[in-house]
Amino acid sequence: MQRHTDPVPPDRFPTDPNGLPEATRPQVLELADGDTLHLHIGPVAKPLGDTTVWMLGYNGSIPGPTLRVQQGEDYTQELGLYGNILVEPTLPGYWPPVDRELVLTLDDLLVTDGQIAPFSGEETSYAAMGRFGNVFLVAGDPDPRLQARAGEVVRLWLTNTANTRVFNVRLPGARMKLVGGDSGRVEHEELVDQVLVAPSERAVVDVLADRPGQLHLEHRTPQRAYRLATITVGEAVGRSAAAEEFERLRGAPELAAERQQLEAWLAAPPDKVLALVAQMDDPAALPAGAGPVTYACPMHPEVTSQEPGRCPKCGMKLLAATGATMAEGGHAAAMEHGGHAQDGHGEHPGHGGDGAAGGIEWEDDMVEVNRLTTSATMHWRFLDRTSGADSPSIDWRSGSASGSSSSW
């Protein structure tokens, strides 16, 4: 079977930003019931440090405008780009008081040679674990500069719009309180040192800085910290009423009641067990006559074998490499040496794929393996494991209290 891994030809993927309007900052728009907002999608020139790339924006901005609406007045559709909608609750006192709010989308872009890395026109690329970027954008900006004052509470509305990266958000030098998430406020507010935000997930965090200075919003991995944004904290103008409430950890009675109703279901054993299993072909499969083959672990390149198998340390499938490849780099053919891609501050994520374990799998390690996987080399299956057998045939039927049934 022939594998198509070549990128889209340049004439099918625009990259030239010359002559395009420069991307603007997003507006905050107040919408009432019955209002209509017209959004148009168009190409813009987006400055990223010392380069400018071709991107798409809503109404000329990246991200699109922030829409502030009242609860019960709005619905959404996935349009392929991203922006935020803030829903104002009708219940008084739903959120704890704050002095200011910042709406921040968290994103990463894969940029190569000063351009957005092209996509394949024939199949899904980066099919194993998604397309990690090497440039961070916060609210559409690679180096955002934010403002606050000492002694005031700032609410961060965080939305992860990245393809696959889980952001581990920290703000050293300030106190953080998790107050909300995807479905509104949390059941129990808590003081935290970090907040994990998965792709398409939202988190609402209140922040209090006690003294003036400069703070750095960070994405932290086991290997390093990446700067997301700089917050300049000015002189205090007095401790606010919101700051006096910051230490109080509130609860959400409606969520506590919901949990009580679900306790019996949460404690019950499952009736059915469904497994989603991924199988990956060797992305470095070598042609016949390539010479002696040695197999190595992409996570532990020191683990080698003359026969295919799995790594005794981590269980990963050993990948094929010729003897010459192993002599040159000690890596499987799917891996290659490389350093970190950095901006002027050394803050941007690296994607060299050096094969050294210790970082986050797929984000820090096994980068080249992920890059080589496509929809032709990755195979996903649902398996019915209720009986303990890996059966790919699923014919489940579920009943309801009314006697009707459904199947899938």
DSSP 62-123: SS-PEEEEETTS------SS---EEEEPSSTTSSPP-SEEEEEEEEEE-EETTEEPPPPSSS
Pick 10-259's CATH classification: 1.10.569.10, 3.40.50.1980, 3.40.50.720, 2.60.40.420. 2.60.40.420
Amino acid, res. 26: P
Q: What is the pLDDT of residue 11?
A: 59
Burial of 341 (0-12, 13-18, 19+ CB in 10 A): middle
3-state secondary structure (DSSP) of residue 201: coil
Question: Has this prediction a pTM greater than 0.75?
Answer: no
Q: Which residue has the tokens 């917050």?
A: 231
Using only the alpha carbons of the chain, give its radius of gyration.
25
Return d(Cα 319, Cα 299) in angstroms, integer: 10
HSE of 112, CA atoms in CB hemisphere, 13 A = 8
Return d(Cα 100, Cα 351) in angstroms, integer: 36
Backbone angles phi, psi at 343, to 5 degrees: -90, -165
- What the block records as the tokens of 251 is 């609860």
Query: Could you list the pLDDT tens digit for every one of the 408 residues in the chain?
Result: 333 344 445 556 788 999 999 999 999 999 888 888 898 999 999 999 999 999 999 999 999 998 888 887 775 543 336 788 888 898 999 999 999 999 999 999 888 888 888 877 777 788 778 888 899 999 989 999 999 999 999 999 999 999 889 999 999 999 999 999 998 999 999 999 999 999 999 999 999 999 999 999 999 998 889 999 999 999 987 889 999 999 999 999 999 999 999 999 989 998 888 888 877 776 555 455 555 678 877 667 788 888 888 888 777 777 776 443 333 333 333 332 222 333 333 334 444 344 445 677 777 777 777 777 788 888 888 888 887 777 777 788 876 544 444 445
Handedness of CA 322, 327, 332, 334 (dihedral sign): negative
Q: Is the peptide bond before 63 cis (omega within 30 degrees of 0)?
A: yes
Return d(Cα 337, Cα 352) in angstroms, integer: 6
Sorted by sequence, the CB contacts under 8 Å of residue 30 that are 6+ apart come out as 68
Return d(Cα 137, Cα 108) in angstroms, integer: 6
Q: What is the pLDDT of residue 99?
A: 96
